[in-house]
């Protein structure tokens, strides 16, 4: 599986650091929705779903977490711990997010509004739909 990271240019000076996100520039789609997770409790794993159409970019603005990505062929673990690095999720990938640090703020940019019908929440259904795509 190809893991697609987006390096985000950091404008740093003696005052600190700044990253700008611009749709269709460093974010490769039009941004319709932004959400973020924080105060995630210990030993929690979130996600357990794939999306049929949705494209997303995840950025750990603070702290760290681990993405477990599954394309139905292999499972790959990715640590997000850098506010200057985006993880692009632009295909039908099953994701689980775990090992949130206490201070983790995980922001996600998405190219569509929230739409439950785009979710695949059953792993066997995900495998079936992935097989149909190949």
Q: Which string of DSSP letters, residue by residue, matches 98-127?
A: E---TT-EEEEEESS---GGGEE--HHHHH
**Of positions 32, 46, 85, 112, contacts ligand TYD by CB under 6 A:** 46
Q: Is 112 a catalytic residue?
A: no
d(CA 92, CA 96): 13
Q: Which of the following is catalytic: 49, 51, 112, 113?
A: 49
Residues 50-109 binding ligand TYD (CB under 6 A) are: none
Query: Cβ(1)–Cβ(73) under 8 Å?
Result: yes
Q: Minimum Å distance from CB 14 to ligand TYD? A: 37
Binding to ligand TYD by residue 5, rule CB under 6 A? no
Kind plus residue range of the DSSP H or E element containing 123: helix 123-133
Pick from 33, 66, 85, 112: which binds ligand TYD (CB under 6 A)?
Answer: 33
* Between 49 and 85, CB nearer to ligand TYD: 49
Q: How far is CA 107 from the centre of its chain?
A: 8
Residue ranges in contact with ligand TYD by CB under 6 A: 33, 35, 46-47, 49, 114
């Amino acid at each position: 599986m190809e893991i697609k990271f987006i390096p985000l240019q950091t404008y740093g000076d003696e005052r600190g650091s700044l990253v700008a996100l611009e749709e269709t520039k460093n974010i490769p789609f039009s941004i319709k929705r932004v959400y973020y997770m924080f105060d995630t409790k210990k030993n929690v794993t979130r996600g357990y779903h794939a999306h049929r159409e949705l494209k997303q970019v995840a950025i750990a603005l603070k702290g760290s977490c681990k993405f477990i990505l599954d394309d139905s062929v292999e499972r790959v673990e990715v640590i997000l711990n850098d506010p200057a690095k985006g993880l692009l999720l632009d295909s039908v990938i099953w994701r689980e997010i775990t090992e949130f640090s206490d201070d983790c703020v995980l922001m996600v940019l998405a190219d569509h509004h929230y739409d439950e019908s785009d979710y695949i929440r059953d792993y066997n259904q995900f495998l079936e739909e992935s097989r149909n795509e190949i």
